[in-house]
């Protein structure tokens, strides 16, 4: 977008910020965009979803690697005071591994 202060730029900025912050966005605001810019909105949404899905997969893989290491430690008796615990969070995976309280 050539002019970052244009109405189209402001609308797309609010759209992207709403996606990033997972806050509501009035989809009807997209109708105020010039046609060329309007056609970019679905592309932004598709890319955003693709990127978010990829990030979720990376988090899930990392969680799985850590959980496997944790399970291996318990199986070999090497899990000690430094072991990790699984706790629910608001991450895409729904869980995070954090150091256990001593």
Q: Name residues whose C-beta falls within 8 Å of residue 12's C-beta, 6 or more positions apart in sequence.
A: 1, 33, 37, 40, 41, 44
**In this prediction, what percent of the chain has a pLDDT beyond 90?**
21
For residue range 52-97, what is the model confidence (pLDDT) as tens digits? 777 776 776 777 677 777 766 655 555 444 444 444 444 444 444 4
**How many domains are there within the chain?**
2
Position 77 scores a pLDDT of 54
What range does the domain containing 72 cover? 54-102
In the structure encoding, which two tokens stand for residue 37, read together? 């810019």
Pair (95, 60) in one structural domain: yes
Residue 74 CA to residue 46 CA, distance in Å, equals 42
Structure tokens at 75: 């199986």
Residue 97 belongs to a domain? yes
Residue 45 lies in a domain: no
Residue 46 maps to a domain: no
For residue 6, tell me if it sits in a domain.
Answer: yes
In a domain, 44, yes or no: no
Question: What is the model's pLDDT at position 71?
Answer: 67
- How many C-beta atoms lie closer than 10 Å to residue 98's C-beta? 11
| Residues 27 and 64 occupy one common structural domain | no
What residues form DSSP beta bridges with 95?
88
Q: What is the rounded distance in angstroms from the CA atom of residue 21 to the CA atom of residue 16?
A: 9
């Amino acid at each position: 977008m050539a002019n970052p202060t244009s109405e189209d730029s402001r609308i797309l900025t609010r759209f992207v910020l709403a996606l990033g912050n997972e806050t509501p966005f009035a989809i009807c605001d997209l109708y105020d965009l010039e046609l060329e810019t309007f056609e970019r909105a679905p592309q932004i949404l598709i890319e955003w979803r693709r990127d978010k899905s990829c990030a979720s997969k990376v988090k899930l893989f990392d969680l799985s690697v850590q959980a496997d290491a944790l399970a291996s430690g318990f199986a070999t008796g090497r899990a000690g005071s430094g072991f990790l615990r699984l706790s629910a969070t608001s991450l895409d995976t729904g869980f995070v591994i954090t150091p256990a309280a001593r």
